[in-house]
Amino acid sequence: MEVSIQNKAIRPLLKRIGLDEREIEVYLALLSMKTARAAQIAKASKQSRSHTYLILEDLKEKGLVSEIERGSVMHFVAEPPERLLSYLKNREQELRSLESLVEGAVPFLSSLTPKLVGQPRVTVLHGLEGIKHVYRDVFTQKFVAFFNPKVDLDAFGGNITTILLGENPQLHGKDLLVDNEAARKHIAEVPQSPEYEIRLLPKHITFEADIIIFENEIVLFTFADEPTIIRIENPQLADAFRALHKVFWEMSKKPSHAS
């Protein structure tokens, strides 16, 4: 039973590390054989032989596969699984080196997008990884939010704030929480400060989404079916939602331990 659960979980993990679906199938097939010819790997992974060669080349570049010649026939070898850690560290270093380059390019790329004066700019993203990217944007800003921690707990398997920022995250905003057990867990895990305050909404107010307002944007997160993020950029609408947040803030209560 435990092996079955682990086998089911390994593919999403490898995908998060950076392997695509075909690379995952080829890598796992070769890992189970340790050494094999391309034709054998193609059959085991249910890929065409031509695609398998290309995939093996990609895996070689990632350091997860090597090749040896046996009697004039090329064989491919799965490197020890510990190489996944080296690959992950290499990706982290590469992303760090790219960060400053991207920061330098942002002003130029932003200048290519014409401003829509007075007209809301609406964008839609899908998937949990997209939601994480937006949360990272929000957590660097001053914000106000309507937040149901239970929805995020069910979606991510933990507190999204500590998942992204680690222990004792430093936030700058005001969170209105749906009053439930997950909210009390959030209060215990994310310390309040003069920069970050929490209040519990009245018991009869509940919803299955999150709404965050920061700068000139409103971001709506929904998790039913396909996780979806809707971003609305418009200063008038952002101010209207801030005013609505202020009304609910005044009618909500501080958590008991903060009273």
Question: Which residues neighbour 212 within 8 Å (Cβ) at sequence distance 6 or greater?
Answer: 138, 143, 144, 145, 146, 147, 218, 219, 221
5: pLDDT strictly greater than 50: no
pLDDT given at position 113: 66
pLDDT given at position 104: 79
Higher pLDDT, 252 or 225: 252
- Percent of the chain at pLDDT > 70 equals 93
Find out whether 91 and 62 touch, Cβ atoms under 8 Å.
Answer: no
Find out whether 44 and 31 touch, Cβ atoms under 8 Å.
Answer: no
Place of tokens 């005044």: 250
pLDDT given at position 245: 94
pLDDT given at position 190: 82
Instruction: Work out the number of other CB atoms within 10 angstroms of the CB of residue 183.
Output: 22
pLDDT given at position 3: 40
Question: Which residues neighbour 190 within 8 Å (Cβ) at sequence distance 6 or greater?
Answer: 159, 161, 162, 169, 171, 196, 198
- Percent of the chain at pLDDT > 90 equals 28
The 10s digit of each residue's pLDDT in 89-130 is 888 878 777 877 787 787 777 777 666 556 678 888 888 888
Question: Which residues neighbour 14 within 8 Å (Cβ) at sequence distance 6 or greater?
Answer: 23, 24, 27, 28, 84
Higher pLDDT, 257 or 25: 25
23: pLDDT strictly greater than 50: yes
Q: What is the pTM of this model?
A: 0.56
